[in-house]
Structure 1
Amino acid sequence: MTAELHSRRSVLTTGAAVAGAAAGTLALAACGGGSGGSAQPPKPGGKVIALADVPVGQAKSAKTPDGQDVIVAQPAAGTVACFSAVCTHQGCTVNAPEDGELNCPCHGSVFDALTGAVKKGPANAPLPKITVKVENGQVTTA
């Protein structure tokens, strides 16, 4: 009887440990995404946003034609900057620009909404730049 009881405890304990490890692995995978912020460059020539929709001195969230989340900024009239909205820390998408900042909801990194530069970690690299141009009042991928 003792051997059987010990055997059941061993099985239950081992099973619980394996289940806990699997749950932890899933949680880490969901959090990180494994991309480390490495976004693919969008295809050239696609409309991202109308320049008139991005006020001077501000930034807006947008999507490239192939569905990538980006931030488009107009730091000065007619000057446009665009960068990936994927946090360089662990690949989460940053929130929409607010008060000149982009906040990562996963781990608290903060980026400058006009430049993509890191203002507060844990991210230690800026948001990747995306080359864009203005054609007929539209911000398009270059």
Structure 2
Amino acid sequence: MSDELTGPGTQTRRALLAGAGAVGVTVVLTACGTGDDDALDGTGSSPSAGGAPAPSGSAGAPAEGGGGAALAKKSDIPVGGGKIFAEQQVVVTQPTEGEFKAFSSICTHQQCPVTGVDGGTINCSCHFSKFSVADGSVKGGPARKPLPEQKIAVDGDNIVLA
């Protein structure tokens, strides 16, 4: 049996099979992902990408120094709980009366959006990670990194991204 395909200008069988194998490996590796929350450093940056921010795909905070539109009224955020603002990718919490905090609403485990705030935790329903409403720290895995804090300001009765 010959190593070459018949016809003018054709590749060798070996080259053809090697190319097909490389494509198959690439597809498998792309589909698998790392499954490791070390892929991002908790700030939306990939250490292997030179610290460049990961694309968010939706509106983020306003330019620095410009108080943006109000996210919520202070009375909208329950004490010991919080509210998720999906478009801005932020969750605002009120751990104690009058104290407001904000964190990324993207889970540090595999970048699913968090889905609820209940019982003093910010919860991700993808893999059931839980984060503290007070400081974003991990209260239950598989996440190992806290939610990154976001800057907000209280302007009268309104809570705005800072």
Same fold (TM over 0.5): yes
Find the structure with the greater CA-based Rg.
2
Using the TM superposition, name which of 38-47 and 129-138 deviates more: 38-47
Report the counterpart of residue 56 of structure 1 in structure 2: 79
Change (3 A) 1:92 1:35: farther
Report the counterpart of residue 27 of structure 2 in structure 1: 22
Report the counterpart of residue 45 of structure 1 in structure 2: 67
Return 5+ residue gaps in structure 1 as ranges: none
Change (3 A) 1:89 1:77: same
Alignment pair present for 1:131 and 2:151: yes
Q: Deviations over 1:78-133 (max 9, x none)?
A: 21111111122332222221332223334332212343110123322211111212
Pairwise CA distance, 1:74: 1.1
Q: Deviations over 1:20-65 (max 9, x none)?
A: 6504513528x98x655424772241122211111222111125xx
Count of residues in correspondence between the two structures: 136
Q: Answer whether contact 2:80 2:133 (CA < 8 A) is retained.
A: no
Give the Cα–Cα distance (whole angstroms) in 1 for the partners of residues 125 and 25 of structure 2.
25
Give the Cα–Cα distance (whole angstroms) in 2 for the partners of residues 106 and 56 of structure 1.
25
Report the counterpart of residue 48 of structure 2 in structure 1: none
SS in 1 for 2:94: strand
Richer in helix (by share): 1
Return 5+ residue gaps in structure 2 as ranges: 4-12, 45-52, 54-59
SS in 2 for 1:22: helix
Identity percentage of aligned residues: 34
Q: Answer whether contact 2:116 2:124 (CA < 8 A) is retained.
A: no
Q: Answer whether contact 2:79 2:97 (CA < 8 A) is retained.
A: yes
Q: Answer whether contact 2:80 2:94 (CA < 8 A) is retained.
A: yes
- 1:105 equivalent among 107, 125, 145: 125
